[in-house]
């Protein structure tokens, strides 16, 4: 029997099998911070760990078992116990002092937890709204700077591409320094880079500022979900996670609606002035309302306080016992997602499907402007309102989560109360059908003789399907690749951000060359080709996982 087979046999031994992540625990998270079992799974990936050392590590991490993401999967190979982590030393190991420990964020008042949750949701919405609101500035900005539309669209693509790059670095850094410093630092730079956007004298300044703005703003898409997991127990997690995961979808749909009114009645620079005010308020809220919640860092702070108060340097937190290198952890977080994409067909195809959907969503920011202006004579704020269909569809899909949860529990019951990663895919199966229906509906109702509300309703089906596909894909990746959950989600993040950056660049050429109906139909055919994959993996995922070098076999 190979070492890898032994690792797979043992990968669930340190984890309570009943503490599976819920579907809401993973929606739209770019780096997998919300995976409760991930830190313990990661320890099993070390090829040098004997059975005895595994038991010692488990004992070492036991005080922090209640929190989410002790360590990322990318830190696993460097995570080795101190040689002094003996039984005598264990009594100095710092953990939570019962249910009344004020250091534990789980013991915060419920009202404060919800205040932090809403604050993070608004920050996430601010970032994603900034990505799409920019598209409403095109007409005025093009005239002022004298640039072409394709050059202006680069500002959207660069922002989204930046959103996909930085999570691979911010996620690992948050494990060393905590969540709060990442939030504050990233949002300070996000706010600062809005200033050159607002006062840009030329399109070159705008493009550079947009890229760095996206690069800075991704903290609330890659790290913030873990904060919710830090505060809420598994039984309380669904409602706050639903609120948080709605925000990255609401933001892109809300941006054109707000931007349409601003740019119809005011100068385009007011788009960024208003975003500056919003982000400034959010930055103040972060500083005053969001504390550090990452359990390993809090235990480290607690250990430092004990050492200072007692003068005994033997007190150590679990994170201080682990020997990890920041540089090597970040490097692993950069290359391992690409290994998953290249070597695992399930990860590749599901990431490709979700990437195509997000690419189409961002392509619509240019296509809607063209279609509803030429076919129905919409002005700028009416074009913004045309995105209501997408927004409503997304909200309805998010609200349907309890139905999918019930279906998941039914599948588990029918399988002798044993969960399988494939049981997370039914939302993606249903969502794939809705995206195909929505795109064909939108394509063949773009006629002056058909009321404008009809294609907007079709776009609502596409929006709902997109959210459902993402929900199923995220949770499947987390459960199918427990040792590499963060890498799987980072692979998905990079792939979909790349497509979202690329698709808007050929939107106008596509629609002008093929015509409005056939251009939208081409997009529909792309989703039709990818739609069977969630169902195929639902049926045969278990067999494919047996052959995968990364996936869990469930044995």
Q: What is the CATH number of domain 94-293?
A: 1.20.1250.20
- With a CB cutoff of 8 Å and minimum separation 6, the contacts of 458 are 389, 437, 438, 439, 440, 441, 442, 443, 445
C-alpha span between 353 and 346 (Å, rounded)? 11
- H or E segment to which residue 213 belongs: helix 203-217
Per residue in 81-122, pLDDT (tens digit) is: 444 445 555 667 777 776 777 778 888 889 999 999 999 889
394 in Cβ contact with 537 (< 8 Å): no
Mean pLDDT of 514-519: 93
Would you tell me how many other CB atoms lie within 10 Å of the CB of residue 243?
A: 17
Q: What is the pLDDT of residue 88?
A: 53
CATH superfamily for 337-547 is: MFS general substrate transporter like domains (1.20.1250.20)
Burial class (CB in 10 A: 0-12, 13-18, 19+), 456: buried
- With a CB cutoff of 8 Å and minimum separation 6, the contacts of 100 are 107
Please give the model's pTM, rounded to 2 decimal places: 0.77
The token pair that represents 40 in the structure block: 């313990």
4-33 in b/e burial notation, b at 16+ Cβ within 10 A? Answer: eeeebeebbebbeeeebbbbbbbbbbbbbb
- Rounded to a whole number of angstroms, the CA Rg of the chain reads 24
How do the domains of the chain map onto residue ranges?
94-293, 337-547
**CA 480, 484, 489, 494 torsion-angle sign:** negative
Per residue in 413-434, pLDDT (tens digit) is: 999 888 888 998 999 999 999 9
Is the pLDDT reported for residue 77 higher than 70?
no
C-alpha span between 177 and 175 (Å, rounded)? 6
Is the pLDDT reported for residue 48 higher than 50?
no
Mean pLDDT of 20-41: 36
Mean confidence (pLDDT) of the chain: 80
420-436 in b/e burial notation, b at 16+ Cβ within 10 A? Answer: bbbbbbbbbbbbbbbbb
Is the pLDDT reported for residue 540 higher than 70?
yes
């Amino acid at each position: 029997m190979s070492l890898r087979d032994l690792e797979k046999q043992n990968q669930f031994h340190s984890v309570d099998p009943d503490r599976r992540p819920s579907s809401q625990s993973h929606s739209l998270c770019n780096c997998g911070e919300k995976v409760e079992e991930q830190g313990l799974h990661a320890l099993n990936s070390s090829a040098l760990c004997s059975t005895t050392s595994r038991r010692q590590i488990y004992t070492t991490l036991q005080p922090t078992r209640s929190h989410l993401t002790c360590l990322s999967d990318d830190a696993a190979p460097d995570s080795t116990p101190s040689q002094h982590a003996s039984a005598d030393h264990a009594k100095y190991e710092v953990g939570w002092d019962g249910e009344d420990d004020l250091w534990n964020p789980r013991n915060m008042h419920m009202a404060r937890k919800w205040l932090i949750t809403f604050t993070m949701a608004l920050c996430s919405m601010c970032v994603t709204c900034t990505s799409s609101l920019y598209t409403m500035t095109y007409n005025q900005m093009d005239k002022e700077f004298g640039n072409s539309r394709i050059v202006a669209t680069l500002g959207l693509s660069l922002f989204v591409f930046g959103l996909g790059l930085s999570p691979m670095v911010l996620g690992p850094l948050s494990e060393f320094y905590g969540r709060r410093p990442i939030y504050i630092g990233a949002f300070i730079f996000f706010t600062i880079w809005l200033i050159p956007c607002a006062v840009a004298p030329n399109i070159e300044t705008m493009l550079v500022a947009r890229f760095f703005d996206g690069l800075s703003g991704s903290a609330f898409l890659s790290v913030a979900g873990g904060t919710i997991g830090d505060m809420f127990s598994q039984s309380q997690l669904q409602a706050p996670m639903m609120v948080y995961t709605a925000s990255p979808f609401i933001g892109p749909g809300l941006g054109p609606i707000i931007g349409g009114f601003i740019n119809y009645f005011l100068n385009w620079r007011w788009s960024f002035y208003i975003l500056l005010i919003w982000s400034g308020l959010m930055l103040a809220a972060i500083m005053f309302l969001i504390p550090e919640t990452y359990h390993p860092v809090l235990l480290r702070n607690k250990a430092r306080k004990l050492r200072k108060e007692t003068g005994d340097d033997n007190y150590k937190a679990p994170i201080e016992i682990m020997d990890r290198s920041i540089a090597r952890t970040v490097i692993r977080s950069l290359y391992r997602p690409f290994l998953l994409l290249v070597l695992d067909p399930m990860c590749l195809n599901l990431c490709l499907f979700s990437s195509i959907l997000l690419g189409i969503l961002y392509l619509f920011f240019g296509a809607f402007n063209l279609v509803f202006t030429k076919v129905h004579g919409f002005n700028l704020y009416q074009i913004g309102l045309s995105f209501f269909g997408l927004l409503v569809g997304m909200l309805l899909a998010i609200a349907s989560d309890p139905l999918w949860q019930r279906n998941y529990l039914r599948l588990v019951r029918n399988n002798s109360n044993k969960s399988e990663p494939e049981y997370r895919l039914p939302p993606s199966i249903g969502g794939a059908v809705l995206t195909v229906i929505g795109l064909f509906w939108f394509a063949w109702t773009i006629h002056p003789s058909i009321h404008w509300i009809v294609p907007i309703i079709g776009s609502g089906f596409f929006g709902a399907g997109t959210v459902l596909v993402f929900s199923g894909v995220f949770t499947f990746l987390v459960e199918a690749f427990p040792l590499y959950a963060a890498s799987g989600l980072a692979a998905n993040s990079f792939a979909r951000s790349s497509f979202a950056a690329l698709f808007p660049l050929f939107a106008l050429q596509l629609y002008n060359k093929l015509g409005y109906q056939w251009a939208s139909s081409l997009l529909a055919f792309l989703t039709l080709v990818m739609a069977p994959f969630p169902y195929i993996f639902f049926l045969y995922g278990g067999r494919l996982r047996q052959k995968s070098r990364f996936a869990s076999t469930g044995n």
